[in-house]
Chains A and B, each alone.
Chain A
C-alpha cells in the first residue's frame, strides 16, 4: 500500500472550515484514499473515502487532485468535538478483507 504524508498537527477555529492535506505521491491506480479519525484513544472512526472523484458526505468532503498524488479532507464547520487525530490511509480493496495501515496522522485541535 502507498505511503502517506500528513502534517503532524494543526489548529482550527471553531465554526471555520478545517482543511487537512495528505500527500500520497506513490498511489497506484487501484488504491483508494480513506480518512479515519480517532478521538482521544477511542476506536478509529471512518469519515470518507474516494478513488478519483471528489466526495462529500454528512461529515466531510474529500478533494482528490487530478493526478491523485494528494488529497484534502475538509471539515466544513469544525466543532470542538472534531478535535481528534485524523488519518489519511491509502489501500487497495481486497475481497479477503481490507487491512488498514495507519500512519501518525494529523492531530487537529479545534479552538473556541
Chain B
C-alpha cells in the first residue's frame, strides 16, 4: 500500500539554525499538508499546498516557515531560524484531490531545538 514517508525521523538542531524537513507524498496525490504536534498537545494545521502554491496557512506559519516542492516527488518544510518553541513532531500529509475525504499522514519528524 502506498504511504507518505518523511526524513529524518529525528532532527536535533541549535536555536537559530535553519532546518529542512522532507516528505515524499503518495505519488499520484496533488494536495500536500504540514501539521505539527508539540509534545502533549493537539495536532495543529500549518499549511496546505497545491499546484506549487500555498492554498491555506495558519497563524503559526509565519515568515520563518516556507514550503517547496522542489521536484516531482519531494515536499519540504523549511524553518529559517529555529526557536525553542519549534520543538515538535512535524507531520506531512497528502490527498488525491482537494475534495478528497482522506488525508494520508506520514510517520512524522521529531524536531528538537536546543
Contacts and interface: CB of A to CB of B under 8 A. Distances in A.
B45 A100 contact: yes
Contacts of B98: 93-98
B107 A42 contact: yes
A7 interface: no
Contacts of B55: 96-97
Interface residues of B, number: 30
Interface majority SS on B: helix, strand, loop or mixed?
strand
A30 interface: no
B105 A44 contact: yes
A94 to B, nearest CB: 6
B45 A101 contact: yes
B99 A95 contact: yes
Interface stretch (B12-20, B67-75, B78-86, B89-97): B89-97
Contacts of B89: 41
Contacts of A98: 31, 48, 95, 98-101, 103
Interface residues of A, number: 23
B102 A99 contact: no
Contact of A97 (B4, B43, B95, B105): B95
Interface of B: 4, 31, 33, 35, 37, 42-45, 48-50, 55-56, 58, 89, 91, 93, 95, 98-108
Interface of A: 32, 34, 38, 41-46, 49, 87, 93-104
Given A94-B99, A97-B95, A103-B42, 11 more contacts: A38-B43, A43-B93, A43-B105, A44-B43, A93-B98, A93-B99, A94-B98, A95-B98, A97-B50, A98-B48, A98-B101
